[in-house]
Amino acid sequence: MFKNFFSIVALSFVMIKNTQAQVPVYLDKTKQLKDRVEDALSRMTVEEKIAMCHAQSKFSSAGVPRLGIPDNWMTDGPHGIRPEVLWDQWSQAGWTNDSCIAFPALTCLAATWNKDMAALYGKSLGEEARYRNKNVLLGPGVNIYRSPLNGRNFEYMGEDPYLTATMVVPYIKGVQSNGVATCVKHFALNNQETDRHSINVVVDDRALYEIYLPAFKAAVQEGGTWAIMGSYNKYKGFQNCHNPYLLNDILKKEWGFEGVVIADWGGVHDTKQAIFNGLDMEFGTWTDGLTWGASNAYDNYYLAVPYLNMIRKGEVGTKELDDKVRRILRLEFLTNMAPDRPFGSFGTQEHAMAAKKIAEEGIVLLKNQQNVLPIDLIKTKKILVVGENAIKSMIIGGGSSSLKSKYEISPLEGLQKRVGETVEVKYVRGYVGDTSSNYNGVVSANSLAEKRSADVLRAEAVAAAKDADVVVFFGGLNKSGHQDSEGEDRLGLELPYGQDQLVSELAGVNKKLVFVNISGNAVAMPWINEVPAIVQGWFGGTEVGNAIAAVLVGDVNPSGKLTFTFPVKLEDNPAHSVGEFPGKNGEVNYKESIFVGYRWSDKQKIRPLFSFGHGLSYTTFQYGKVTADKKEFTATDKVTLFVAVKNTGSRDGEEVVQLYISDLKSSLPRPVKELKGFEKIFLKAGEEKVVTFTIDKSALSYFDPAKHEWVAEPGDFEALIAASSTDVRTKIKFRLK
Ligand code: BGC
C-alpha cells in the first residue's frame, strides 16, 4: 500500500497527533526517535538487518533500499573531509569536486585552549562533511599523549584528560549540528602505532579512569556523540573492537551510550566476539570485493554471512542483532533522515578563514629572547627562510587523515605574501628530508626533488644566513613514515635529517634565528641555548603559511599554549622512563600509571624543556591574588575562585588562565596537581579582567579502584592559578568538609 518507509512514518505521526490532542507525542523528540526506530526495525528482515552491520565498500554500509533508508557514508576525519576513494580501494577516485578545506591538526586546535575554536572547527568541518553527503565523520581523536614517539599524536589533543575532555565536547556538538555523526576514536588505550593491531595494554583502573577514559566519557555524556570507533589494540587480552570490558561494561552500561560502535578498519577478528562484545558495525576487514574471491567479498565479513549462518542454525539468537540495528537506525534518523538537517557547504572562504583563525590561535611562542619576534618590518630588509618544511605539503600524508585540499599556503608563500613588497625574502633548502608527497594518488603540486648533497645544502644555507637580518628556519617533522604518521612510531626524540647540526651552524653566524617547529609532537632541542626564538607551528592546514606569517610579524599576538610536555630527553618522559614503550612480547604495561605528562615531571621534579600549558605572548600579563567565596565547603557545594589578570604590556593579547588543583593529603597517591579549569581571555593593552572558576567535588575527586567510584576525600586542597604547569602565579587553600 505504501511506497516506502517515509510515507509510513509521516502518516503515523499525523495519526498520533490527531488522537493525542493534549500532549502531542510527535513533539517529544526522544520518543519520536524511539518510535521511528522500533517501527523501522519491525519491518526489516534478518537479512536486511545483517546487511546494516557491516561495510559494503571501503567507506559505506548498506541502508535498507526497500524501506527508503539510505546507505551510511563514512569519511575521515578528523582534520578535513577525505577525498573520495574507489569503491573497494584506498586510492582516491579522481573526482574533481572533492578538494576540501584542511583544518589544523587537532594538536593545534587543542593548543588554542579555546572552546569557541573547537565549536567553530566542529561546525565548519560538519558543514563540509554534510555537503559531501557523509553522515559519519571518523573523528575526533582523543587518545592521550603518552609518549612523544607515538606517530599519531598529531591527530589527538595532548596529554591532559581535562583539556581533551573539555575541547572535544564543542567539536562534537558543532559537527553533529549538521546532522553528521562524529565517530570519536580510538576507544581506547591506543597510544602507540607499533604493533597497533596486536599489542595488549596493561593498565591499572586508576590510570584507565583518570587519564585514558575521561575524554571518551565526556564525548558520550556531554557531547552526545552518535558513534564511537573501537581501537585496534587489546586490553585484558581482548581486541578492543569487541572488548566486553570497554564496550559492554564501561561504554554501554556505565556510561549509557546509545550510539553505534564502529570497528576501526580491519579491527574485527571473530564473529562470536563481534556479536556479543559490544560491536555494532564492522568496517575495513581485508577485502577486495570487486576483483578477488567470492562474488562479493563483503559477505565474508565476520558480521555478514558467518553471522547470518549462526542465526539460521540457531547457534545465536537475534537479540544482539536487534540491539545493533536499533543503534544504527537511530544514527540514520539523527543524520540521513533527520527532517531539519541543513545542507552544508564545502571549500568555502568562510571555512578557510575559520581554519586560519584556529591555526593562528594554536601557534605557540615557546621562546623569545631579545625581542627577535615579532620581526621588525621597519628595520628588516632581508629575511632568509631555510628548511624543507617551508615548502613541503603537510596536508598530504600521515595516513588516514591525509587530505586533498583546495589549496595550501606554505610557510614560505605566507611570509613572501605578507612582507614581500618591502622585505627581500630569500629561500634556501638547507637539508633534504623526504621528497615524496603522494598519498593514495593525491600528489603535491610542487616537486621536492633535490640532487645536491647535505654538505652543499648546509654550506649554502650558512653562507646565506651571514648577511640576512633575520633567519627563519622551518623544520621539525613531516607526515612520512616514522614521523608524524599513522602506522609507525617515531624512532627517537631528535629532529631528523641533520637539522640539529644545521640549526647550530645557522645560530653560529646569525644571532636573529627563529626556529619554527612544524610537527604534532615534541622534539629534542640540544641547541636550545643558541637559538633566541622558537615557535611551535603545528600542521596548520590550508592556511598554515598565512597564519604563521601573521604571528611572525605580529599581526597576531600568539596565544597558544602547549598541550603536552616537551621533555629535554626521551627518558624524562614517563613511558620511556619506566621502559614501557612500545612494550615487548605483545604487551605494554603502563607502569607509570596516572603519572602521565606533567604529572610525571611534577612527581619526579624533572624540569621540562617546555612545560605543559606553556606559551608566550608579545605582551605580558600580571596575575592578582586569587580569592575564594568560601574557604570550606561540603561535597554538595561549589566554590568560586576569582583572580584578576592584567595586560601589562603595550599590545592587545589573549591569555590562557589555568586552574590546577592540588590534594594536600590523600589516602591514595595523587599527582602534585591536576588541571581542572582554564579560561582564555582577551585583554586590550592595560586592561584588567577578573576570571572566575567554579568547581565542585568532581575537581577534587580521584577514582577509587576498590570502590569502583570517584571519591572526593575530605581535607585540605589548594587551587593554583597558573600561566603554565610550571608557572604558578597565585594559590589559595580551601577545605572539603
Ligand atoms: C585508522 C582510523 C581511520 C580508518 C579509516 C584506520 O586505519 O586507524 O583512524 O578512521 O583507518 O580510514
SS (H, E, C) 427-458: EECCCCCCCCCEECCEECCCCCCCCCCHHHHH
Range of the domain at 704: 621-736
Alpha carbons 400 and 166: distance in angstroms, whole number: 25
The answer on 431 and 297 residing in a single domain is: no
Q: What's the number of CA atoms in the CB half-sphere (13 Å) around residue 673? A: 25
Question: Are both 683 and 630 inside the same structural domain?
Answer: yes
pLDDT band for position 438 (cuts 50, 70, 90)? confident
Q: Is residue 600 part of a domain?
A: no
Closest residue by Cα to residue 476 from 494, 456, 461: 494
State the CB neighbour count (10 A cutoff) for residue 727. 12
Q: Which atom of ligand 1 is nearest to the CA of 141?
A: 9
The answer as to whether 583 is a domain residue is: no
Query: Which of 540, 557, 574 is the last residue before a domain boundary?
Result: 557
Same domain, 543 and 632: no
Residue 176 Cα to ligand 1 middle (Å): 20
- The residue among 557, 572, 593 that closes a domain is 557
State the cell numbers at 321.
542483532
Residues 322 and 196 in one domain: yes
Could you tell me if residue 454 is inside a domain?
yes
Q: Ligand 1 centre from 486 Cα, in Å?
A: 9
Average pLDDT over residues 648-654: 98
Residues 181, 258: one domain?
yes
Q: Which atom of ligand 1 is nearest to the CA of 59?
A: 5
Considering only CA atoms, which of 554, 553, 556, 558 is closest in space to residue 425? 553
> Helix, strand, or coil here: 171?
helix
Q: Is 648 part of a structural domain of the chain?
A: yes
List the grid coordinates of 448: 621536492
Model pLDDT for residues 146-203, shown as the tens digit of each residue: 999 999 999 999 999 999 999 999 999 999 999 999 999 999 999 999 999 999 999 9
264 catalytic per annotation: yes
Over residues 666-715, the pLDDT tens digits come to: 999 999 999 999 999 999 999 999 999 999 999 999 999 999 999 999 99
Per residue in 458-504, pLDDT (tens digit) is 999 999 999 999 999 999 999 999 999 999 999 999 999 999 999 99
Residue 609 lies in a domain: no
Do 282 and 377 fall into the same domain?
Answer: no
Q: How confident is the model at residue 720 (pLDDT cuts 50, 70, 90)?
A: very high
Helix/strand/coil for 626: coil
Q: How many structural domains comprise the chain?
A: 3
Q: How many CA atoms lie less than 13 Å away from 667 in the CB half-sphere? A: 9
Q: Say if residue 22's pLDDT is above 80.
A: no
- Rounded CA gap, 317 and 311, in Å? 6
Quick check: is 290 in a domain? yes
Q: Please, how many CA atoms are within 13 Å of residue 289, restricted to the half-sphere of its CB?
A: 20
Q: Are residues 631 and 714 in the same domain?
A: yes
Read off the CATH number of the domain in which 697 is found.
Answer: 2.60.40.10
The reply to whether 407 and 533 lie within a common domain is yes
Q: What angle do CA 225, 229, 234 make, to 5 degrees?
A: 135
Q: How is residue 80 written as a grid cell?
A: 578535513
Asked, for residue 594, whether it belongs to a domain, the answer is no
Q: Is the same domain home to 246 and 364? A: no
Write out the H or E segment, with its range, that includes residue 412: helix 411-419
Residue 471's CATH number = 3.40.50.1700
One domain, residues 243 and 381: no
In this prediction, residue 295 has a pLDDT band, given cuts at 50, 70 and 90, of low
Choose the final residue of a domain: 517, 541, 557: 557
> How many Å lie between the centroid of ligand 1 and the Cα of residue 581?
22
Residues linked to residue 64 through DSSP beta bridges, in sequence order:
69
Task: Say which amino acid occupies 86.
Answer: L
pLDDT tens, residue by residue, 26-44: 457 888 999 999 999 999 9
Reading the block at residue 617, the C-alpha cell is 605572548
Q: Given this model, what pLDDT does residue 29 score? A: 82
Q: Which residues are near ligand 1 (CB < 6 Å)?
A: 76-77, 138, 185, 264-265, 400
Measured between alpha carbons, how far is 584 from 720 in angstroms, rounded to an integer?
Answer: 39
Contact yes or no for 157/109 (Cβ under 8 A) = yes
Share of the chain above pLDDT 70, in %: 95
Helix (H) or strand (E) holding 675: strand 674-683
**By alpha-carbon position, which residue is closest to atom 11 of ligand 1?**
265
Dist CA 72 CA 92 (whole Å): 19
Cβ contacts of 209 within 8 Å, gap of 6 or more: 703, 710
Q: Is residue 329 part of a domain?
A: yes
What kind and span of H or E run contains 31? helix 29-43
Contact 616, 660 (CB under 8 A): no
What is Dmax (Cα atoms) for the chain?
A: 86
Contact status, residue 168 vs residue 174, Cβ threshold 8 Å: no
The three three-digit cell numbers of residue 652, written as one number: 592587545
What's the whole-model pTM score?
0.95
Integer Cα distance of 705 and 412 in angstroms:
52
Measured from the Cα of 77, ligand 1's closest atom is 10
Give me the catalytic one of 76, 98, 195, 264. 264
Cell 602534585 locates to 672
Q: Is the pLDDT of residue 72 over 70?
A: yes
Cα 214 to ligand 1 centre (Å):
22
Q: Are residues 269 and 408 in the same domain?
A: no
Residue 384 DSSP SS3: strand
376 & 290 share domain: no
**pLDDT over threshold 90, residue 211:** yes
Of 121, 619, 176, nearest to 365 (Cα)? 619
189-200 in b/e form (b: 16+ CB < 10 A) is bbbbbebbeebb
CATH value at residue 293: 3.20.20.300
